[in-house]
Structure 1
Amino acid sequence: MTEHPTSHEPRQAAPPAASSATPHRAPNTAAAGPGGLPGRPTPHGPAEVAEMSPAAPRGDDSAHTADNRCEEPGADAGGTPWQGPGDGGTAGGVGRPRPCPEGTPAVPPPAAPHGVPVESGARGEQPARASEQAAGPAAPPARSAHPAESSEVLAARQAGGDRLRFIGAATRRIARGIDLDEIVLGLCRATVPTFADAILVYLRDPLPVGDERPTGPVVLRLRRTDRIPEEPDTNGGRLPMLPAQPDLSPAMGGSAAELSEVLPGGPLAEVLRGVRPLFGEVQAARAALPELLGPLTQLPAGHRVILAPLRGRRRVIGAAVFLRRPDRPAFEADDLLVAAQLATHTALGVDKAVLYGREAYIADALQRTMLPDSLPQPTGVRLASRYLPAAETARVGGDWYDAIPLPGSRVALVVGAVMGHSMTSAAIMGQLRTTAQTLAGLDLPPQEVLHHLDEQAQRLGSDRMATCLYAVYDPVAHRIMVANAGHPPPVMLHRGGRAEVLNVPPGAPIGVGGVDFEAVELDAPAGATLVLYTDGLVESRIRDVWTGIEQLRERLTETARLTGPNPPPLEPLCDEVLDMLGPGDRDDDIALLAARFDGIAPSDVAYWYLDPKAQTAGQARRLARRALSRWGLEELTDQLELLVSEVVTNAVRYAERPITLRLLRTDVLRCEVGDDVPQLPRLRQARPSDEGGRGLYLVNRMARRWGATRLSTGKVVWFELSMPFGGTP
């Protein structure tokens, strides 16, 4: 401790030559804080400030001393961790006087000329000051008769400032967490070992969300524990555990309960209802702690346990227990305020994390319900898909994909991306996807589908923009028709391993308005794979779109080399494509759709045009019988002739132009009958007196599947029959 001169000791005047020299400073001292943490250096006291200042004329120098006194700024927020006044901290605090800068002497008040009275002015001097100055230098000002009292005040200021700095640092660490585990971990790491030697955090299970009123008993689950770990000594061994190490969970060698049911009206319920933290030796806490931690848990004696309820915005959601070992100073009364601040910020953070988690779950579930649960497997094409959200913090996006079966065994492949990441983007994506499915059911050309999607986007709002690529694959003709609306071009992987970027007109995004879309028809050879994707796969902060497209093409080529002449399987191919993403490539969500074109061989297709006459039904039966004989499917002759006769008869009755009859042999036998009448047939129950109305009933009973699709030129009615054993081509 620095020795201070008393008021009756004579003051020595500093020599003039030493006025600009560095003043003598007492050596700093430090005391050990709780848990072995070092204390702050002891600052100079007020007496040392006076000794380091040059002598000045005495008199009424109380105001003069205040004018020349410099104030010490507060410590940096990231300074020494908090220590209580009884933990070995030293005196000092914010607002404490400190020496003036070195080399800057204190300016004495101007001396009054002889015989001129000094007027009271800004310094508050009295007229008697002139006579006091003439009497010569006066004795130094009297100091406090109780120096120890001044040290206690400074120590209290120091402790208060350290507490505030600790609370600020701890709450910032807690607030950085987004999910539940990060917030609880932030509380544990902020308090151990600075504030406590061990901590147990209990939260309600399950945690209520928002205004939900939980039903059933209140159960607290031990969410996390933390304590000062054993440290190896200099010889590599382990330091022995203290005899009264705080008791924690069974996972950490303790006996604290993992689950605790809060009994209505019990001591724990009363403490949680009171909200305020309590010392462990208080009667209410002494009765509540065994109910929370279990009856076998051993706790330190004295003010070394604090039970702090965690209260959120609407209700108590848990409790935190802070513990100190007997070798460390006990908690003080002000530490209850620290525990209350930590508990409040933690509870509000848990509320925030629960609400965020619920919103993220709802958004993710909403978006995934707008995407297809499973892809269809139409004839002549195999499909695989992947969808990846952008990140955990931005799950909701506007990317989508779809595969829509069309008449004639064709399939529509759709990939699109709504601009933005929000619930609004996901909602717009759902509307555009539904619109695309409806337009595809009308069998419109791809460019017409994009035109109607553009009109729909404009009806949704002026800033509702999206990109989309719409393609229709015909397995019979081995052709694909593609129209693009500002979307990245597809990549075709051929059977020999060559990958090429298809030359498709880019078009304008959907929602711009007043733009014509163009469709191109390209070859789709058997064994080729078409890869459709959104811009999140090829564009990021570290690469542009065309660089990413070239990397995608190279990755497809490298993957095809691994399988030789045979095309790679679709599912592993999609995984290989996603593996091209690097650490900084997940800036946007990604939708990926891969289609393997198997096609239908011309020998497995039979197609006829028939005039709408009364004899057409018999002619259709004969043609179908010959096709089955050629394919070796005579077992299906009776069923096929009956069903073809019923469907063709209905078409001939209302058609004005030639009807079409087509048979497709794949894994099933499919029959399609087309006419120029747009009205779709409906299954109905015929009355006993009705002469007709039983044709579709027979089709429904005998066919494996059946349906009707409206076209731009009429409709198509189709049905499928299962292949006999050994009849698959």
Structure 2
Amino acid sequence: MTKRLGAGEGADGQAADGQHPAAPDALPRGSPGPESIGPGLTGAQTDRLRYLDAATRQIARGIDLDETLHELCRAAVPAFADAAFVHLYDPLPVGDEATPPRLLRLHTTDRISSQLPDAPRAQAAEVVHPTADGELAKLLEGGRPKFGDTPGMAVAAAELLGGAGPPPAAAPPGRRLIIAPLHGRTHALGSVVLLRGPARPDFTGDDMLVASQLATHTALGIDKATMFAREASVADALQRTMLPPSLPEPPGIRLASRYLPSSRTAQVGGDWYDAIPLPGNRVALVIGDVMGHSMTSAAIMGQLRTTVQTLALLDLPPDEVLHHLDEQAGRLGTEHTATCLYAMYDPVLHRLLVSNAGHLPPLLLRPDGRGEILRVPPGAPIGVGTGGFESTELHAPAGAALLLYTDGLVESRDADVLSGMERLRARLEAAVAASGPWALEALCEEALGTVGAGDRDDDIALLAARFEGIQPETVAYWYLAPRPQTARQARRLTRRTLRLWQLDTLAESTELLVSEVVANAVRFATRPITLRLLRSDVLRCEVGDDSPVVPRMRHARLSDEGGRGLFLVDQLALRWGATRVGTGKVVWFEQPLRDDQGPG
């Protein structure tokens, strides 16, 4: 980001300790440099060392690029020079990358003292095009500062300051200009130009050493800031790619989420959330937190999240999911533990099954606005290996909202977790009481309002769900014996149900699809198969059996007598799929409804 520092901004030139640095230009010309420090140290040398100590500490105080350059200008003007200009390559080289094209931009603009009122005042982000084999390019590659009256430096100064307007006499009379290259650990990064007005003494050889130290510490600060910014960018991208890019939209429930990284570290955390559609129109709500902030924590989080997704699709009870997750975490190593809460919502039965592995209990906002911290047995964290997880069944009334969150939302340096949970509950209760039922997005924003405006020590993950439920009259469910006559029976039940739902226009195609899927299930099933019809924004059909063999669509040859069933399903259905569950598999398909045929 390009930042402009105004001429009057911070003109006191205070050092990091709040005191005015000693002005080294007041020292006698030709006095010994820092390399001659010894018992005979003069007062001028002492002042120079004090200035360098304060200035370098002030430059090192910068965290990001703008702060580092701002502190350089504050340290240099007016204590050492009357104006300072900083140019940087764009883009800045990082690590072992090749040197960027010879293109410089003015990053931090003028820093002018009252002693140099006619100095050029550059506009931000003006571009300089140095000649590839010119004096400026040689200077930057060489890495050593030079005076403005050095042969060729007038040309280099004109290249640097030309974009800012005509420099004062191209190179000021005498030694009133220093160009100090900013050379990082491996690459030239840019340059700093220091100017003095006629009311001050010329720069001396000792001043050249001071300028060199200022440039060296600034270059190291730029290196640090650039690497920090790159690490923060990579860490943030890694964290976000491990979170769901979007939330599903299953019938009977509405979902919203938030994720806020810690503001005090560039390292990724282990917080995650997920929402996983399950057979039978149920949905799994998951939130977890791997302890620590590191790339390893993020990697463990990614593996645990993938494991949870795999276990969820097996349609296991929540306590079984956590049990197998704990076993998998043990294989990953015992040095990392995690907490996880797994909830399964059934919109038909208005039921919530919850199991907890050391995570914070969820918050339920009932339809009347009352908030309740759900009492769920906490269990041991994932990775401890003690197991003992329990599933708790709770009523999930239509209109209620459930909030799953990590400890960053409720824990801070001035409040413990229990106080934070009570504060969250009270805040949301008051908000609902004042404004009535809230949309989920607004509810998430209100929940985040409990977080202070200062730096956060931990990441925050939040998953919110509003239960809408599915009316029983929009669901039909049967158990059918695996017999040759079952397909015909399934067609008859489907036709009768669609007539009752006034979906006669879908009867013919749906009967055909149901017949093909049921006939395929009968071939492999040894126990009764299930047939479920659900009318929501689409007509959904699910056929379950006890065989784990998932059907695959193939193109039948002309001589084949079968093998065309799934091809018909693929052609006629809006969507279809097959999912393994703990008791076998579920094959499903969906048919579109007209606008006037939706849930009534």
TM-score w.r.t. length of structure 1: 0.76
In 1: Cα distance, 2:177 partner to 2:571 partner: 77
- The match for 1:262 is 130
1:190 aligns with 2:75: yes
Number of residue-to-residue matches in the alignment: 580
**1:681 is paired with a residue of what secondary structure?**
coil
Q: 1:470 to 1:95 in 2, by over 3 A?
A: closer
In 1: Cα distance, 2:28 partner to 2:404 partner: 67
Contact 1:405 1:412 in 2 (8 A): yes
In 2: Cα distance, 1:395 partner to 1:516 partner: 33
**Cα offset for 1:710?**
0.8
Question: Once the two structures are superposed, what CA deviation does each residue of 1:69-109 show, in whole Å capped at 9, x if it has no partner?
Answer: xxxxxxx9967613335579x9xx99999xxxxxxxxxxxx
**Cα offset for 1:281?**
1.7
**1:419 is paired with a residue of what secondary structure?**
strand
Q: For 1:468-507, list aligned pairs within 5 A.
A: 468-507=340-379
- The match for 1:170 is 55
Contact 2:338 2:383 in 1 (8 A): yes
In 1: Cα distance, 2:188 partner to 2:37 partner: 39
Q: For 1:241-640, list aligned pairs within 5 A.
A: 245-250=118-123, 258-294=126-162, 296-299=165-168, 300-564=172-436, 567-583=437-453, 586-640=456-510
Q: For 1:144-163, list aligned pairs within 5 A.
A: 157-163=42-48
Contact 1:542 1:584 in 2 (8 A): no
Q: 1:337 to 1:560 in 2, by over 3 A?
A: same
Which sits farther off after the overlay, 585-594 or 491-500? 585-594
- The match for 1:31 is none
Q: 1:666 to 1:77 in 2, by over 3 A?
A: closer
The letter of the residue matching 2:107 is R
The letter of the residue matching 2:479 is Y
Contact 1:406 1:443 in 2 (8 A): yes
**2:211 is paired with a residue of what secondary structure?**
helix
Contact 1:277 1:309 in 2 (8 A): yes
1:225 to 109, 113, 121: 109
**Cα offset for 1:395?**
4.4
**1:327 is paired with a residue of what secondary structure?**
coil
1:82 to 16, 23, 32: 23
Q: Which runs of 5+ in 2 are unaligned?
A: 1-10
In 1: Cα distance, 2:259 partner to 2:96 partner: 33
In 1: Cα distance, 2:253 partner to 2:561 partner: 42
**2:69 is paired with a residue of what secondary structure?**
helix
Contact 1:500 1:553 in 2 (8 A): yes
Contact 1:610 1:659 in 2 (8 A): yes
Q: 1:207 to 1:426 in 2, by over 3 A?
A: same
In 2: Cα distance, 1:77 partner to 1:668 partner: 69
**1:673 is paired with a residue of what secondary structure?**
strand
In 2: Cα distance, 1:86 partner to 1:492 partner: 72
**Cα offset for 1:480?**
0.7
Question: Once the two structures are superposed, what CA deviation does each residue of 1:443-468 show, in whole Å capped at 9, x if it has no partner?
Answer: 11110111111111111112210110
In 2: Cα distance, 1:726 partner to 1:180 partner: 59
The letter of the residue matching 1:374 is S
**Cα offset for 1:290?**
1.3
**1:218 is paired with a residue of what secondary structure?**
coil
**Cα offset for 1:279?**
1.1
In 1: Cα distance, 2:144 partner to 2:332 partner: 52
**2:110 is paired with a residue of what secondary structure?**
strand
In 1: Cα distance, 2:577 partner to 2:522 partner: 18
Question: Once the two structures are superposed, what CA deviation does each residue of 1:4-24 show, in whole Å capped at 9, x if it has no partner?
Answer: xxxxxxxxxxxxxxxxxxxxx
Contact 1:87 1:329 in 2 (8 A): no
Which sits farther off after the overlay, 388-397 or 445-454? 388-397
Question: Once the two structures are superposed, what CA deviation does each residue of 1:685-708 show, in whole Å capped at 9, x if it has no partner?
Answer: 111111111000011111111111
Question: Once the two structures are superposed, what CA deviation does each residue of 1:145-166 show, in whole Å capped at 9, x if it has no partner?
Answer: xxxxxxxxx9x82222111111
Percent identity of equivalent pairs: 62
Q: 1:606 to 1:86 in 2, by over 3 A?
A: closer
Q: 1:406 to 1:95 in 2, by over 3 A?
A: closer
1:647 to 517, 535, 541: 517
**Cα offset for 1:586?**
2.1
- The match for 1:685 is 555
- The match for 2:567 is 697
- The match for 1:205 is 90
- The match for 2:64 is 179
In 2: Cα distance, 1:474 partner to 1:87 partner: 85
Contact 1:399 1:534 in 2 (8 A): yes
Contact 2:263 2:455 in 1 (8 A): no
In 1: Cα distance, 2:128 partner to 2:536 partner: 63
Contact 2:291 2:297 in 1 (8 A): yes
Contact 1:82 1:165 in 2 (8 A): no
**Cα offset for 1:583?**
3.8
Contact 2:148 2:175 in 1 (8 A): yes
Question: Once the two structures are superposed, what CA deviation does each residue of 1:258-289 show, in whole Å capped at 9, x if it has no partner?
Answer: 21122211121112122221111222211211
Contact 1:416 1:534 in 2 (8 A): yes
1:720 aligns with 2:590: yes
The letter of the residue matching 2:62 is G
The letter of the residue matching 2:145 is P
Contact 2:539 2:591 in 1 (8 A): yes
In 2: Cα distance, 1:480 partner to 1:85 partner: 78
In 1: Cα distance, 2:27 partner to 2:394 partner: 84
The letter of the residue matching 2:23 is W
**1:84 is paired with a residue of what secondary structure?**
helix
**Cα offset for 1:720?**
0.4
Ranked by relative contact order (alpha carbons within 8 Å, sequence separation 6 or more), the top structure is 2
Contact 1:436 1:449 in 2 (8 A): yes
In 2: Cα distance, 1:586 partner to 1:298 partner: 46
Contact 2:264 2:456 in 1 (8 A): no
**1:382 is paired with a residue of what secondary structure?**
strand
The letter of the residue matching 2:24 is Q
- The match for 1:60 is none
Question: Once the two structures are superposed, what CA deviation does each residue of 1:206-225 show, in whole Å capped at 9, x if it has no partner?
Answer: 0011000145x311110112
